[in-house]
Amino acid sequence: MSSGGQREQWATRIGFIFAAVGSAVGLGNIWRFPFQVGQEGGAAFLVIYLLFIVLIGFPAMLIEFVVGRHTERNPVGALQEIGAGAWRYVGWIFIATGFVILSYYSVVAGWTIRYTLLGLQDDYIADAAEAEAQFVTLASGLDAIFLHAIFMVAVIAIVAYGIERGIELAVKVMIPAIIVIMLGLAVYVATLEGASEAYSYYLSPEWGVIAAEWQSILPAAAGQAFFTLSLGMGVMITYASYLGEDRNLAEDSAIIIGFDTAIAFVTGLIVFPVLFTAGVAPGDPGAGAIFVSLAAAFGDLTFGWLIGAIFFATVAIAALSSAISLMEVVVSYAIDELDLDRVTATLAIGGAIFLLGIPSAYDLVLLDLFDLFADQILLVLGGLLLAILVSWSLSTLAIEELERGIGDLGSLGTAWIWAVRIPVVLVLVVALVLGILDYYEFLSGDFAAWLEE
């Protein structure tokens, strides 16, 4: 178990909430969300996504919180404490997922640093094809490896300082900055020519789209809800393990989810007007969206370089506050279970994650290989197993833990458990099956082709 001395704790209530918001708000909101909306049917997707956030995300977040606060352990230790038999090893999936996600998340974060610098040098290219060529050159190779290293150094530096002096302090600066800048950008882009067309695309759903494309909309919305709330990976277990007091976890979750959703929503209010003004179809070209079409659109605007630099710098900050949570999951394990001190653990793990990220910074196909595996398989698998274990065999413990700090929940407690037992589990099973099929397709398609080259 733990090395001597007291387990660290958050200093303030707001510190915990900011840290959880910092974890949730990241590339998922600003990079992934707009292109998911673009690809999956605009406002119709937005409606389904919001529904899943409330119906699936909220109950699932509470599960992680009660496990963390109850055990006061890292995810591996927590699962060893509450699980029996093979369930004792589920925590390992979380650690592995954190390791893999951070390795390529840091590479993408490195791109955001590069695109901040491009803005400052007034180097966005308005021509879409050229912008794409520029992205492909910058996204892999020595430049990408170098920026990946810089980003990892920042992550290591913050996490090495610990919960209160590192993470809590950093997020208290980062979160207000993100909120203010994003709101400011949204107000500015409202003055653009394409704004009203963009709003109606983003905000008035065409219901027919849901009927026609629900098979792809549902899993995409569920996956996005999990990813954006940092669920399925033990982040919320870890962060709740540093809570000493009995607080109202349901209220905290609602606040965290509210902030995360608001930032994603505002991102749409920024991205779509810029794209519509530049005449770019939302959803093109998928994962490259903000680095290709959006950057090209910035290249087209007066003062686009400045808006772009501010935008990408904000994305980099948001990515940093998420990356420290991914790192903390692995570090908390090393401190609790391997008896390492924080600085040694952070340096060793950060170094290893940097090395694991090199392939992703070397070739985009390898980044996809890691991203799809972690995102669509590991994350969903971890979340699913935890949901099954806690809702089906530890429901009394879970309800009691949630009631600490709230008081008697009555039938609401049971309603929560049943929301996890069937809807959450079902959605995750479907997402997992689709994720595995998709991964198989990737392995036999793009990846096989890459190997042959």
Cα–Cα distances (Å) from 220 to 48, 157, 415, 417, 430, in that order, read 10, 34, 26, 24, 11
Minimum CB separation from ligand PHE for residue 93, in Å? 13
The interface region with ligand PHE, picked from 43-51, 290-298, 321-329, 424-432 by CB under 6 A, is 321-329
Task: Report how far residue 300's alpha carbon sits from residue 357's, in angstroms, rounded to the nearest whole number.
Answer: 33
Burial class (CB in 10 A: 0-12, 13-18, 19+), 179: middle
Instruction: Answer whether 340's CB lies under 8 Å from 348's CB.
Output: yes
Angle at 153 between CA 149 and CA 155, to 5 degrees: 115
CB 399 within 8 A of CB 187: no
- Please tell me the distance from the alpha carbon of residue 13 to that of residue 235, in angstroms, as a whole number: 17
**Binding span for ligand PHE by CB under 6 A among 68-76, 130-138, 158-166, 318-326:** 318-326
Counting residues that bind ligand PHE (by CB under 6 A) gives 14
Going residue by residue from 267 to 306, which x/- string records binding to ligand PHE, judged by CB under 6 A?
----------------------------------------
Residue 26: strand, helix, or coil: coil
Residue of 228, 248, 199, 205 whose CA lies nearest to 62: 248
Task: Tell me how far, at minimum, the Cβ of 267 lies from ligand PHE, in Å.
Answer: 11
Q: Return the residue nearest ligand PHE (CB atom).
A: 28
Instruction: Show the binding pattern over residues 22-61: x = contacts ligand PHE (CB under 6 A), - = does not.
Output: -xx-xxxx--------------------------------
| Cβ distance to ligand PHE smaller for residue 275 or 324 | 324
Nearer to ligand PHE, 234 or 304 (CB): 234
If one asks whether residue 230 binds ligand PHE (CB under 6 A), the answer comes out as: yes
Q: Is 333 in the site for ligand PHE (CB under 6 A)?
A: no
* Closest CB to ligand PHE among residues 267, 277: 267
233 binds ligand PHE (CB under 6 A): yes
- 32: closest CA among 113, 90, 95, 105? 105
Binding positions for ligand PHE, rule: CB under 6 A: 23-24, 26-29, 227-228, 230, 233, 235, 322, 325-326
